[in-house]
Amino acid sequence: MAGTSPRSSPHSFKVRMIARRNALFANPRFQYWAARLPLINRIARNRASSAFDLLAGFTYSQTLRACVESGLFDALADGPVSHHDTATQIGLSDAATLTLLRAARALKLSEEAEPDLWMLGEQGAVLAADKGAQAMIRHHHLLYRDLADPLELLRRDRAEATHLSRYWSYAGALHGAAEAGRETREYSELMAASQHFVADQVLAAFRFPPQASLLDVGGGHGAFLRRMGEANPGLQLGLFDLPEVAKAGAEILAQVIGTDRVTAHPGNFFEDPIPGGYDIVSLVRILHDHDDGPAAQLLANIRASLKPGARLLIAEPMARVPGAEPMGEAFFGMYLWAMGSGRIRSSAEITAMLRSAGFSRIRSVATPQPVNAGLIVAFA
């Protein structure tokens, strides 16, 4: 029996409408007409600008990287300063510095307050004060190297090493790889520098009971626990991670929070039981680092450790978040592919995994800035 042609097969109303829309937008006569009607022209200009942003996005990100790595933000922080004085501080020629300043101005990273007197722009002021964001920007050069040939990256076996996967060898250590002491330290230091992205969202959206206990699984050097402990003085803190990481993290936490509130739990969250007895267990930017099989195993391990009424708190960037769609499947989708492990998931996908792991009640919690993290709470 002859197959049905895709063009002649029946489709839903939504499919037919998308096809008509795309055909209309691609029609040169429509584009010519749209450019001459005031309201339609405004929409067309916005779409053209968005299309150009897709084309030029790599240049934008590299401009940002140049600002961070050159020290431009530091040079402008005490501005206003001339481009010549800026050049002296960042080690570029006058012409190159002026080019960078102008490119940064277009991205609101710098601002020319008066002729040839430069200061931080709106975005620059935010990033100059955010060392965690700068740490992430510096390490993205590894992702850019892997994405230099995106089709080659997508064709390769995910088990093959990439620049990004070699850096994140901590993930390999969790799967039983050989000694990774230096790599685990680098991983934890970068995570600590950027952890506040997620911690701020949790503090704004989730209320801890006055007297409760919190176990952070894969907690690194304790940056998340520190933020939660400082904001909630009655909170008892537990840190579960690889032995050398848990030990170092607990020591750092004890200096700030106090030894009576901190407990270290060394172990591997795939191979060892999750410590029990805690009111709340947190997974902060952990689940999306792992493929579906290991992620499901981790959720089942946590569920088995929870006492009745205890909660699991999952905080990480998520896919298909209204208003933050590019962050999810466009950025983190490609990032995690290059990393060789994990994938970005929607709230609905995580909820389905939690149900399969045996959690009874699950709810998504709105966060102020979902581009940084979404939040899901599941009850045992």
> Over the stretch 219-242, which tens digit does the pLDDT of each residue have?
988 999 999 999 999 999 999 999
Is pLDDT at 175 greater than 60 in this prediction? no
Choose the CATH number for 163-379 among 2.60.40.10, 3.40.309.10, 3.40.50.150, 3.40.50.10090: 3.40.50.150
Task: For residue 1, name the pLDDT band (cuts at 50, 70, 90).
Answer: very low
State the Cα–Cα distance between residues 109 and 133, nearest whole angstrom: 14
3-state helix, strand, coil in the chain (%, to 5): 55, 15, 30
Q: Are 130 and 147 in contact (CB under 8 A)?
A: no
Q: Mean pLDDT lowest for which of 34-38, 78-82, 102-106, 217-221?
A: 34-38
Q: Which residues make beta-bridge pairs with 314?
A: 283, 376
Distance separating the N- and C-terminal Cα atoms of the chain? 52
**Per-residue model confidence as pLDDT tens digits over 48-67:** 778 888 889 999 999 999 99
Cα Dmax for the chain: 77
The stretch 195-207 carries a mean pLDDT of 92
Mean pLDDT over each residue of the chain, to the nearest integer? 88
Rounded to 5°, the CA angle 310-245-280 comes to 10
Of 207, 241, 227, 168, residue with least CA distance to 375: 207
Strands 374-379 and 235-241: unpaired
State the Cα–Cα distance between residues 97 and 100, nearest whole angstrom: 5
Residue type, 276: G
State the Cα–Cα distance between residues 357 and 256, nearest whole angstrom: 35
Q: Where are the domains of the chain?
A: 28-128, 163-379
**Per-residue model confidence as pLDDT tens digits over 140-167:** 999 999 999 999 999 999 989 999 988 8
Q: Mean pLDDT lowest for which of 8-12, 269-273, 342-346?
A: 8-12
Q: Are 328 and 317 in contact (CB under 8 A)?
A: yes
Percent of the chain with pLDDT over 70: 86
The pLDDT of residue 32 is: 66
Residue type, 144: Y
The pLDDT of residue 181 is: 52
CATH architecture observed for domain 28-128: Orthogonal Bundle (1.10)
Distances (CA, A) of 338 to 129, 206, 287: 29, 32, 16
**Per-residue model confidence as pLDDT tens digits over 363-379:** 999 999 998 899 999 99
State the Cα–Cα distance between residues 62 and 248, nearest whole angstrom: 35
The pLDDT of residue 44 is: 64
**Per-residue model confidence as pLDDT tens digits over 297-322:** 999 999 999 999 999 999 999 999 98
The pLDDT of residue 233 is: 96
The stretch 95-108 carries a mean pLDDT of 98
Beta strands, E only, 81-178: 110-114, 117-120
Task: For residue 176, name the pLDDT band (cuts at 50, 70, 90).
Answer: very low
Q: Are 86 and 94 in contact (CB under 8 A)?
A: no
**Per-residue model confidence as pLDDT tens digits over 3-13:** 444 444 567 88
